[in-house]
């Protein structure tokens, strides 16, 4: 059965769309094809386009920049999708973009081997700002993060269903994003029968049960797949602390490679920990103790009690979603990293991550550098990593390089 939705986008074939001009004071250089045009960057026209309408973006001098979708509710006023004037923003273009994204993963997996779980569409990184598609076994999860993609949901779901024949598709928009985009949050299963329970996948030789509906984001953090394996190679022995462990990814990968003898894995979410406990048991890893706690509090408690670890993973949630929150985010990262360094044994391994799009690699490097100075520890970066290959990064959209992961040795 093909998905049917009530509303379908009126797909224009005539390129006669409202024109919006960049504000000359705010105008950034859009030659770089950054897909986000912020509210302050455009001159608001006397008659505003409708939310969801295709618009043309022009330089203050009238030269054409690109074509995208307007949203009167969002701070990202226009999401640009085309930079070639002759193109048409329609269902065929959408299908081509989706096909290109899929081909990339097929090429990658043809050399690496087929994976149970893979990101098929990575928003800006695949030229489809606002669309994330993950595959978990026979199921797909679609996360919509922009009105433009919400408007195209019918076309997207039909294309995915026809091309991939999934058992079912879970489609959602979370409350925070829905509010920003002027929509209502939703999540539902379409195009088939939802799974009757957890979905099981295998990653780096570890069996994982996932709850695709109640889980965070699209159900599981696929972006850290290669980092878990890389970290496991350095975490060879002793006592490990896994901070913000979610389903236990880093701990399980480390235990699978004969690493730590004793692991404390912490997260604030009890539902996530329940799945993590199940995953540890089903893989036979009895050395992991899971604990519900706030990451800042638990590090402080370990420090007060004089507890020490041989390796520590810090994988906190996003702390800044925009540049204005950067300073408070950097202070929080500094606190976490400093606390970790204070309870890490000599010759220890620190794996420190940031998934905040507005925190750059240099920012995280700076945090680590000042935490090292403050704790009087020598920190060697062994590997500076990002999200796994199925999460491509757009060179002109630094925010798409959102995941930073430094694997370090601490003297």
Residue 232 Cβ, how far from ligand SAH at the closest point, in Å? 11
3-state per-residue secondary structure call for the chain: CCCCCCCCCCCCCCCCCCEEEECCCCCCCHHHCCCEEEHHHECCCCCCCCCCCEEEEECCCCCEEEEEEECCCCCEEEEEEECCCCCCCCHHHHHHHHHHHHHHHHHHHHHHCCCCEEEEEEHHHHCCCCEEEEEECCEEEEEECCHHHHHCHHHHHHHHHHHHCCCEEEEEECHHHHHHHCCCCEEEEECCCCCCCCEEEEECCEEEEECCCCCCCCCCCHHHHHHHHHHHHHCCCCEEEEECCCCCHHHHHHHHCCCCCEEEEEECCHHHHHHHHHHHHHCCCCCEEEEECCHHHHHHHHHHCCCCEEEEEECCCCCCCCHHHHHHHHHHHHHHHHHHHHCEEEEEEEEEEECCCCCCHHHHHHHHHHHHHHHCCCEEEEEEECCCCCCCCCCCCHHHCCCEEEEEEEC
Using CB under 6 A as the binding rule, the residues of this chain from 275 to 294 that contact ligand SAH are 294
Residue 372 Cβ, how far from ligand SAH at the closest point, in Å? 22
The Cα–Cα gap between 201 and 373 comes to 42
| Per rule CB under 6 A, count of chain residues that contact ligand SAH | 18
Residue 2 Cβ, how far from ligand SAH at the closest point, in Å? 33
Residue 229 Cβ, how far from ligand SAH at the closest point, in Å? 11
Residue closer to ligand SAH, measured from CB, 51 or 227: 227
Residue at token pair 């993609």: 149
The residue sitting closest to ligand SAH, measured at its beta carbon, is 249
Residue closer to ligand SAH, measured from CB, 71 or 229: 229
Residue at token pair 């302050």: 40
Among 54, 199, 295, 371, binds ligand SAH (CB under 6 A): 295
Whether 355 is a known active-site residue: answer yes
Interacting span for ligand SAH (CB under 6 A) from 1-9, 169-177, 268-276, 379-387: 268-276
272 near ligand SAH (CB under 6 A): yes
Residue 176: how many other CB atoms lie within 10 Å: 11
Residue 248 Cβ, how far from ligand SAH at the closest point, in Å? 8
Residue closer to ligand SAH, measured from CB, 158 or 354: 354
CA 265 to chain centre: 21
Residue 304 Cβ, how far from ligand SAH at the closest point, in Å? 17
Which structure tokens are listed for 137?
A: 């076994």
Which structure tokens are listed for 151?
A: 């408007």
Site string for ligand SAH, 296-315 (x = CB under 6 A): -------------------x
Question: Residue 284 contacts by C-beta under 8 Å, 6 or more apart in sequence?
Answer: none
Residue 406 Cβ, how far from ligand SAH at the closest point, in Å? 15
The Cα–Cα gap between 146 and 128 comes to 10
The catalytic position among 244, 245, 355, 397 is: 355
Residue 140 Cβ, how far from ligand SAH at the closest point, in Å? 19
Among 8, 180, 269, 370, binds ligand SAH (CB under 6 A): 269
Using CB under 6 A as the binding rule, the residues of this chain from 313 to 332 that contact ligand SAH are 315-317
Residue closer to ligand SAH, measured from CB, 74 or 227: 227
Residue closer to ligand SAH, measured from CB, 168 or 293: 293
Among 134, 155, 161, 267, binds ligand SAH (CB under 6 A): 267
Residue closer to ligand SAH, measured from CB, 169 or 244: 244
Using CB under 6 A as the binding rule, the residues of this chain from 207 to 266 that contact ligand SAH are 216, 221, 224, 244-247, 249-250
Residue closer to ligand SAH, measured from CB, 102 or 266: 266
Residue closer to ligand SAH, measured from CB, 107 or 291: 291
Residue at token pair 């598609």: 133
Please identify every residue annotated as catalytic.
355
Binding site for ligand SAH (CB under 6 A): 216, 221, 224, 244-247, 249-250, 267-269, 272, 294-295, 315-317
């Amino acid at each position: 059965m093909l998905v049917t939705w009530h509303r379908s986008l009126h797909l224009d074939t005539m390129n006669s769309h409202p024109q919006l001009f960049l504000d000359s004071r705010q105008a950034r250089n859009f030659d770089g094809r950054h897909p986000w045009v912020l509210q302050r960057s455009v001159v608001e026209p006397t008659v505003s386009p409708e939310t969801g309408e295709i618009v043309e973006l022009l330089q203050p001098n009238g030269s054409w920049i690109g074509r995208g979708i307007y949203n009167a509710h969002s701070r990202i006023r226009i999401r640009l999708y085309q930079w070639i004037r002759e193109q048409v923003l329609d269902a065929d273009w959408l299908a081509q973009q989706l096909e290109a994204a899929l081909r990339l993963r097929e090429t990658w997996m043809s050399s690496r081997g087929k994976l149970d779980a893979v990101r098929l569409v990575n928003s800006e990184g695949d030229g489809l700002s606002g669309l994330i598609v993950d595959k978990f076994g026979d199921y797909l999860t679609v996360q919509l993060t922009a009105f433009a993609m919400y408007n195209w949901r019918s076309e997207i779901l039909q294309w995915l269903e026809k091309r991939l024949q999934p058992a079912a598709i879970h489609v959602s928009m979370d409350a925070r994003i829905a509010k920003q985009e002027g929509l209502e949050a939703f999540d539902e299963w379409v195009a088939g029968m939802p799974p009757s329970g957890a979905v099981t996948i295998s990653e780096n030789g570890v069996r994982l049960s996932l709850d695709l509906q109640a889980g965070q984001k699209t159900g599981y953090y696929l972006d850290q797949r290669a980092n878990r394996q890389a970290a496991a190679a350095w975490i060879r022995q002793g006592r490990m602390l896994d901070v913000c462990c979610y389903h236990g990814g880093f701990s399980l990968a480390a235990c699978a490679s004969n690493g730590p003898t004793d692991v404390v894995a912490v997260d604030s979410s009890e539902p996530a920990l329940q799945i993590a406990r199940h995953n540890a048991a089903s893989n036979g890893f009895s050395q992991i103790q899971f604990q519900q706690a706030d990451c800042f509090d638990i590090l402080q408690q370990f420090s007060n009690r004089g507890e020490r670890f041989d390796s520590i993973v810090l994988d906190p949630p996003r702390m800044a979603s925009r540049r204005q929150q950067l300073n408070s985010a950097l202070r929080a990262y500094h606190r976490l990293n400093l606390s970790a360094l204070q309870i890490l044994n000599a010759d220890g391994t620190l794996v420190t991550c940031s998934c905040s799009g507005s925190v750059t690699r240099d920012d995280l490097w700076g945090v680590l550098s000042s935490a090292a100075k403050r704790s009087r520890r020598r920190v060697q970066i062994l590997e500076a990593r990002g999200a796994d290959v199925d999460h491509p990064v757009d060179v002109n959209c630094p925010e798409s390089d959102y995941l930073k992961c430094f694997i370090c040795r601490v003297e």
